[in-house]
Amino acid sequence: MTDIPKLRGHHLICFHFFSGKGYNREFVENLRNTLEKIAEFGVEVSHGADDVCSRCPHLKGGICSYSDHSHDEIMEMDKFALRLLKETSGSKAKWHVIKQRIPEIFPLWLGKYCKKCLWEDVCEEDFLYRKLKYGKDPV
Ligand code: SF4
């Protein structure tokens, strides 16, 4: 039996805009494989590091060490994402069901996190992201 992949709160939102880029090749391959499994089997909400963090060069000793304060900041971001999505750690969901909720919660997420995120230019490459941000595809 295949284990249901685990994602932390903010990844449940951000990965709807994955455009094939990431920290390195291993990270991207793992992320792509994880999303394929999630599309088939669904996702379990993790508390803290997830199946994508597990191949991230910034995960040290099980916590996110992207910057000095990243662990606390990202845990806070996860909490906010779960509140918006009405999910809790340990719950399971289908990816398409979560995706259906993204348009409704997107304005709050954009205002609070996307605008100060270093990855926003990468998300801008994604059609859904542009559609939600600008109301139509600007290209
Ligand atoms: S930067 Fe931090 S939250 Fe993002 S994938 Fe890496 S370990 Fe996880």
63 lines ligand 1 (CB under 6 A): no
Mean pLDDT of residues grouped by 10 in the chain (139 residues)?
Answer: 90 97 97 98 98 98 95 97 98 97 97 94 96 78
User: Is residue 137 in a domain?
Assistant: no
pLDDT for 136 equals: 66
Total structural domains within the chain: 1
14 lines ligand 1 (CB under 6 A): no
| Ligand 1 midpoint to CA 61 (Å) | 12
User: Is residue 1 in a domain?
Assistant: no
User: Is residue 60 in a domain?
Assistant: yes
User: Is residue 136 in a domain?
Assistant: no
- Number of the ligand 1 atom closest to the C-alpha atom of 74: 3
pLDDT for 138 equals: 55
Containing structural domain, residue 123: 6-131
User: Is residue 90 in a domain?
Assistant: yes
Taking CA atoms only, the protein residue closest to ligand 1 atom 4 is: 53
- DSSP β-ladder status, 6-8 and 43-46: parallel
CB 23 within 8 A of CB 62: no
User: Is residue 65 in a domain?
Assistant: yes
| pTM score above 0.75 | yes
User: Is residue 44 in a domain?
Assistant: yes
pLDDT for 139 equals: 53
